[in-house]
Amino acid sequence: MDTNLEIVAYGNGNLTGGAAVDSAAREYMSKSGQKDYATAVKEVVAQAREAVAEDVKEYKNRVRAYMSQWKITEAEARRRVARHDPKMRALEQDPMGPTMIVGEVAPPAVADVTTKTWEPPVHQAISIIQIANLLFGLPRDEYGYIELAQAREALRTYPDLLQKAASDKLDAYARAGISILGLPNFSSENYAAGFRWAVAKYPALAALYSAGRLSSQALRELLPQIQITD
């Protein structure tokens, strides 16, 4: 896939483009002098969106034309456009959002909806996101797993970042532990109890933090969604 499309896909929540984003962000930081990694990531995603905007526009125009010419559904038109032009294939799942067909009005949806009270999203610490960027873009086997040796090589030059990520994750687990243990409020004493709970619950992550002992289990405890084998 085109690098810009990988970056845009990552910006829309597909973490498989993490390696491309990380590489582009570091190049941007080197050239621009930007020191903040998160700001660099936002900038390269914005630049990638701008770079693919014309291709996205062309793709949408072709979909409309196919629908009009052959009287087919939007889904079928998307498939045909992708099949007939390799350049358009990567846009079959449009990184800029669903294709909007002018003049086609969908019937209103009818449902009983219960609206939950909005809760602000919980964001991972930037150090954990950086580690995820490095690992989720690695080549995978036929079952979707990476190997520990791959992870070691990818993280070899980032020991301080890895320790920071382990520390941040243990901190998050400790704060969760305060609640799980039923402690009444946040205090230094309760945090210490929560941290002890986290160390006991996640020993591999604690070993990574305290002794730099990298294992597949430590990475699972750091990134629960990762698929990794020894």
Helices (H), 14-158: 18-32, 37-70, 74-84, 86-89, 126-136, 148-155
**What contacts 24+ positions apart, CB below 8 Å, involve 87-93?**
87/55, 88/55, 88/58, 88/59, 88/62, 90/1, 90/2, 90/5, 91/5, 91/55, 91/56, 91/59
**Residue 100, token pair as written in the block:** 């909007």
Q: Which pLDDT score is estimated for 12?
A: 63
Q: Which pLDDT score is estimated for 91?
A: 64
Rounded CA-CA distance 37/126 in Å is 8
Q: Which pLDDT score is estimated for 215?
A: 93
Q: Which pLDDT score is estimated for 166?
A: 92
The CB density around residue 204, as the number of other CB atoms within 10 Å, is 18
Q: Which pLDDT score is estimated for 151?
A: 92
Each residue's pLDDT expressed in tens, for the chain with a length of 230 residues: 568 777 777 666 655 566 777 788 888 888 998 888 778 888 888 888 888 888 777 777 787 887 888 788 888 877 887 776 666 666 665 444 443 334 444 445 454 444 444 333 445 678 888 898 888 888 888 788 889 999 999 898 899 999 999 998 998 898 888 888 888 777 778 888 888 999 999 999 999 998 889 999 999 999 988 899 88
In the chain, domain spans: 3-89, 126-229
Backbone angles phi, psi at 95, to 5 degrees: -70, -10
